[in-house]
Amino acid sequence: MKNKNVFQKYVHDMTNNNNGEKWGTIITYFMPEFITNLIVYSMPLWLDSFFIAALESTATYATLGVTNNVIHLGIKVAEALSVSTVVLSGQFNGQQRYEKVGQTLRDAFWVTCLIGLLFFCGLFFGSRVLYSWYGVSDDIIAIGIPYLRLRALGVFFMFIYFAFVGFLRGIKNTRSPMKIFIFGALVFIGADYILIFGKYGFAARGLEGSAIATILQYSVMSIIASLYIILNKKNRKYGVNLLSIFSEKHEIKRFCITSWPIILDKATIACAYIWLGKMIAPLGTNAVAAFAAIKDMERVAFLPAIALAHVITFLISNDLGAQNVQAIKINIKKVLMLGMVMVCSILGYMVYNTGFFLALFDRQGDFTELVMQVFPWISLCVIFDLVQIILSGALRGTGNVHTVMMVRLSVVAFFFIPVSYICTYNPLIQSIPVKIILVYGSFYIGNGIMSLFYIKRFKSNDWQSPLQKST
């Protein structure tokens, strides 16, 4: 009887339009986020993988996959610093303290540049050590070192761009960053194609051409963003002067204090992917390439979940501001259901047509059979990541950012890392497909454990505390 009542309540919440958002409204919010992630953020990465795969070198494609895990960490740190810039500049802008907004950009710009420079030096001078630590083959090391050193410069320009983006979003200018990013994506795609294959009189640079395209993309975007901020008449009231002297050290300290929990949160999952790649690397180049292909395929299937995570964050923040707790619970259930239907549908289609998608990445047929054995089982575990990312977005909407940070850090450190290590180096497990399934599966099971903590948090009344304190 109890199970029947729970089921009836769930069905009632799914069809409840009196409290919570209507299904059509949620989809209306979802579509712009989905299209943005699809066209602006994901499409250039897919095309880059497609171009590199066309070189018909498994080692080159595997190098791209391994290196992208490391670059992803830099992207997440830059995003975190950008979020802090948004928060602080937005606060001063709302208070109409426009001179402080300009000072925030100056402080954020130089702190971000310093951290970006540290990333550049680490990647450029530590490229050989990094690949050796990864445990990849000598072929990947030989291909990867010049590629990563070029990508390191692109990462530095990326940090600069994200500093400018944080300022623009903080003053409620979201259109300009989007337009600049679209232009930058077009520059990247064009340069990527020309430089990889050597079109229009340019020498074919292969994987290095992809790295040069990234440098062009983010350097152009940084120049355009800086000129827009400095020359636009609407921005003159902020008195932006990037070369002025730091006058208030406590503001820099405030920026760093605001940034570190966001950095730790975003970097935890990025580091988990790096570790995941390290655990698969000892299984051989084909295994590394298979891991890269599976990630590229899952990136397609997981796009709806990423978009819905953004949607649930601002839905929850608005509902909590209105003290409508019931709407929060109903909206979470609806978004979870919508995400499950979308992601599972895409994954099901990919599992049924795995050979078609693999033909885009494995022109030689070196790792197709391995992916065919592994991908269906990994796809079953993706549901754990779906629940985790949506619930973490919901908790951020309630202000529980430290909860998300601590749960992610604890699960990755005390569950995923030791369990994946045991699965990789257990002498009783000899089958490479089985090892990949267990190692990759342990990552998703870890996400499932995170979800259990998030659910427990929502079932208690503690999740409302951050908002209550702030209000």
Report d(CA 416, CA 421) in Å as an integer: 8
- Give the integer Cα–Cα distance in Å for 283 and 140: 14
Task: Please check whether residues 373 and 446 belong to one and the same domain.
Answer: yes
In a domain, 267, yes or no: no
Q: What is the domain range of residue 336? A: 1-41+284-471
Residues 187 and 89 in one domain: yes
pLDDT, tens digit (0-9, with 9 covering 90-100), for 242-292: 777 665 677 778 777 877 887 888 889 889 999 999 999 999 999 999 998
Q: Is residue 187 part of a domain?
A: yes
pLDDT at 468: 47
CA distance 74 to 118: 10
Residue 436 domain-assigned?
Answer: yes
pLDDT of the residue at 18: 63
Q: Which of 376, 385, 392, 365 is nearest to 455 (CA)?
A: 392
**How far apart are the C-alpha atoms of 150 and 161, rounded to whole Å?**
17
> Is the same domain home to 14 and 132?
no
Q: Does some domain include residue 111? A: yes
321 in a structural domain: yes
Residue 268: inside a domain: no
Residue 203 has pLDDT above 50, yes or no: yes
Where among 225, 260, 295 does a domain terminate? 260
Kindly list the distances between the CA atom of residue 131 and the CA atoms of 61, 115, 135, 274, 367, in Å, as whole numbers in the listed order.
15, 22, 6, 11, 21
**What tokens does 360 get?**
């885009």
Band the pLDDT of 173: cuts 50, 70, 90.
confident
Instruction: Mark whether 73 and 33 lie in a shared domain.
Output: no
The pLDDT of residue 12 is above 70: no
Q: Tell me the mean pLDDT in the region 33-59.
A: 84
Q: Would you say 290 and 372 are in contact if contact means Cβ atoms under 8 Å apart?
A: no
Which pTM value belongs to this model?
0.85
The phi and psi torsions of 27 (rounded to 5 degrees) equal -65, -35
Calpha distance 363→367 (Å, rounded)? 10
Residues 6+ apart with CB under 8 A from 471: none
Has residue 265 been placed in a domain?
no
139 & 252 share domain: yes
Task: Tokens 């990445």: give the residue.
Answer: 361
Q: Is residue 203 part of a domain?
A: yes
* pLDDT computed for residue 250 by the predictor: 75
Q: Please tell me the predicted confidence (pLDDT) of residue 8.
A: 58
> 379 and 236 in one domain?
no
Angle of helix 175-197 relative to helix 207-231, nearest 10 degrees, comes to: 150
Whether residue 200 sits in one domain with residue 114: yes
> Residue 6 class from Cβ within 10 Å (0-12 exposed, 13-18 middle, 19+ buried)?
exposed
Task: For 73-99, give one letter per residue: b (16+ CB within 10 A) or e.
Answer: bbbbbbbbbbbbbbbbbbebbeeeebe
Alpha carbon 34 to its chain's center? 14
Handedness of CA 274, 275, 278, 283 (dihedral sign): negative
pLDDT number for residue 159: 93
- The predicted model gives 223-236 an average pLDDT of 87
Is 97 in the same domain as 183?
yes
- The reported pLDDT for the residue numbered 445 is 94
Considering only 31-40, 202-211, 274-283, which range has the smallest mean pLDDT?
31-40
- Residue-wise pLDDT for 312-347, tens only, equals 877 777 776 667 778 888 888 889 999 999 999 999
Co-location of 297 and 218 in the same domain: no
Query: CB of 271 within 8 A of CB of 412?
Result: yes
Query: Vertex 341, ends 338 and 343: CA angle to 5°?
Result: 100
d(CA 58, CA 209): 17
Looking at the structure, tell me whether residues 306 and 418 fall in a common domain. Answer: yes
Q: How far apart are CA 81 and CA 429, in angstroms?
A: 42
C-alpha Rg value of the chain to the nearest Å = 23
* 165, 148 Cβ separation under 8 angstroms: no
The rounded distance, in Å, linking the Cα atoms of 394 and 85 is 22
Residues 368 and 355: beta-carbon distance below 8 Å:
yes
